[in-house]
Amino acid sequence: MSGFCFELLTTDVRARTGRLSTAHGVIETPSFMPVGTAAAVKAMTPEAVVETGAQVILANTYHLMLRPGAERVKRLGGLHSFMNWSGPILTDSGGFQVMSLAALRTVSEAGVTFRSHIDGALVELSPERSVEIQDTLGADIVMVFDECTPWPVEEVVAAKSMRLSMAWAERSRASFAERPGSGLFGIVQGSVYDDLRRESAETLVGLDFDGYAVGGLAVGEGQKTTFQVLDSCLPLLPEDRPRYLMGFGKPADLVGAVARGIDMFDCVLPTRSGRTGQAFTRRGAVNLRNARHAEDPRPLDSACSCPACRNYGRAYLHHLVRTGEILGSMLLTWHNLHYYQDLMAAMRDAIAESTFDAFAVDFTAEQAMSDIEPL
């Protein structure tokens, strides 16, 4: 489609670099998307998110349809203008949030009926309505409506859920109104069952989507199982389309998934951890609530150029966290997002230089070092 295209640039075994062009800019992959569920990345301004190196963010159909409403956002100039973000935006279809409602929802072939968590109002969400909402918001990357299969799950239940999602994917494809610079991604489902993942991937490839996501993971199955699923299903997806692993994960998760051919990620972990006193560094995660930081003047990570590392010591960050100051959440969130973007940039460089295996070995060794030692 005009204005929306993916160019595969380099490969190093299965790891890839690429360039995804959209109406609102280019995404260099592998890429990590900060999560801005309700049109805001928590504890961050859009300008601060840009300074971390982020190229694209994620917003959520379910939350925005309930408040403030997609039509209102459109009247106010669209989601990019509304939240002052000029780069690309991917909108999750709402399937994961609907799954989490459990007792408040009713699922049928037509779609999902649920009670709003805000005011209890009865709401209906179908594949057609989900795509319409994302179009109304002005998303650059639209996701098909799917049912995120819970974990653990028996194969017969996973099969029924996957086939429902495939039927919804076909309806999403049919209802997608192509706009210059926008694209529609299919979502591979099937839980941990290889035969179901294969059936799902083959169905979606037959529908010819602009990109392909792997969904239904990072729901409790564990890293080893996640990687096994990726090993089996990624070879089934077209090499000339972007591959997106939804809701995943810790730094080591990202490195392992990139090694298997994933191009795009999102996860609430760096922002949520920042609000709870946890920072990610070259030498693993650091809990700023720990008393051992109370008189430590060192930066979180001497190699990091974020404001938290450049201007403040661990003792002050510890103080902010222990006293519940909002500034602590802001600085640690900024640091975590900056760290994630630095990690993605380092992986892109390693792949381009055909040194990714060595990078992964060094990354693992450094993560295992103690952050107490001088950085």
The distance in angstroms from the start CA to the end CA of the chain is: 48
User: What residues have CB less than 8 Å from 128, skipping those under 6 apart?
Assistant: 171, 172, 175
Dihedral sign for Cα atoms in the order 268, 31, 169, 93:
positive
Q: 194-207 and 155-175 helices cross at what angle (nearest 10)?
A: 10
SS3 state at 175: helix
The DSSP secondary structure of 119-159, one letter per residue, reads: T--EEEE-HHHHHHHHHHHT-SEEE-------SS--HHHHH
**Known active-site residue 266:** yes
Decide if 228 contacts 197 (C-beta within 8 A): no
Active-site residue, from 135, 210, 266, 301 = 266
Asked if omega into 249 is within 30° of 0 (cis), the reply is yes
* C-alpha–C-alpha distance, residues 334 and 328, integer Å: 10
Task: Look up 349 and say whether it is catalytic.
Answer: no
Q: Can you give the pLDDT at residue 97?
A: 76
Interval 246-297: pLDDT, tens: 999 999 999 999 999 999 999 999 999 999 999 999 999 999 999 999 999 9
Domains of the chain by residue range: 5-267, 274-367
The amino acid sitting at 131 is: V
Helices (H) and strands (E) in the chain, counts: 15, 16
In sequence order, the β-bridge partners of residue 244 are 213, 264
What does 231-252 look like in DSSP terms, one character per residue?
HHHGGGS-TTS-EEETT---HH
Taking CA atoms, 183 is separated from 21, 54, 88, 241, 344, in Å, by 10, 20, 11, 11, 23
The CATH class, in words, for 5-267 is alpha beta
Query: Residue 364 above 70 pLDDT?
Result: yes
Of the candidates 92, 253, 263, 371, the residue annotated as catalytic is 92
pLDDT of residue 1: 40
Instruction: Give me the mean pLDDT over the 157-175 stretch.
Output: 98
What are the residues facing 186 on neighbouring strands? Answer: 212
- The tokens for 120 are 């209890």
Phi, psi (deg, nearest 5) at residue 241: -125, 145
Give the range among 84-93, 117-126, 139-148 with minimum mean pLDDT.
Answer: 117-126
User: What is the model's pLDDT at position 271?
Assistant: 98
The answer to whether 296 and 285 have CB atoms below 8 angstroms apart is: no
202-227 pLDDT tens trace:
999 999 999 999 999 999 999 999 99
Contact between 6 and 211 under an 8 Å Cβ cutoff? The reply is yes
